Amino acid sequence: MNTSPNHVDAVNMDPVNIDAVHVDAINVDAVNTNDDEYRGPATLRIDDVAVPVEIRMSARFEPIEGRFRWAGRTGPHDMLRERVGAGLRKATIIVPGSPETVVKLSDPDPWGGIRLSGTGTPPWFGPVSDGE
């Protein structure tokens, strides 16, 4: 096992044979993890309509699962609150300088914001260049 601080080992155990353990190495350096939180502008794409929003989000790496989980909220937005209230649950999010990412929508809050969540590389981490 690698003991580097930027190296995480994900362990997958066979529930039938507890002695059968498989370790997958995940190099956290492979992702541009500048900040575990993001506050700022983003665009939600809903049915080919671009909706500009302000978001607050945070992420954490789950070593057992071998992936990131991230969540947050939009600022108040009447149209989003109405669409989510009517059953909308998926969209894509684009943070400036980062690729488009699928996002789950849920739970309008009392101030008119919408809860955002997802798994995998957080939408604000951005692409990694070959030189990093």
Average confidence score pLDDT of the chain = 78
In Å, how far are 17, 30, 65, 83, 108 from 113, measured between CA atoms? 47, 32, 29, 12, 6
Which residues are paired to 104 by β-bridges?
90, 117
- Name which residue leads in pLDDT, 115 or 32: 115
pLDDT at 34: 56
Separation CA 41–CA 31 (nearest Å): 21
Question: What percentage of the chain reaches a pLDDT higher than 70?
Answer: 70
The model's pLDDT over 66-93, given as tens digits with 9 standing for 90+, comes to 999 999 999 999 999 999 999 999 999 9
pLDDT one-digit tens code per residue, 22-56: 333 333 443 344 578 999 999 999 988 999 999 99
Is the pTM higher than 0.85? no
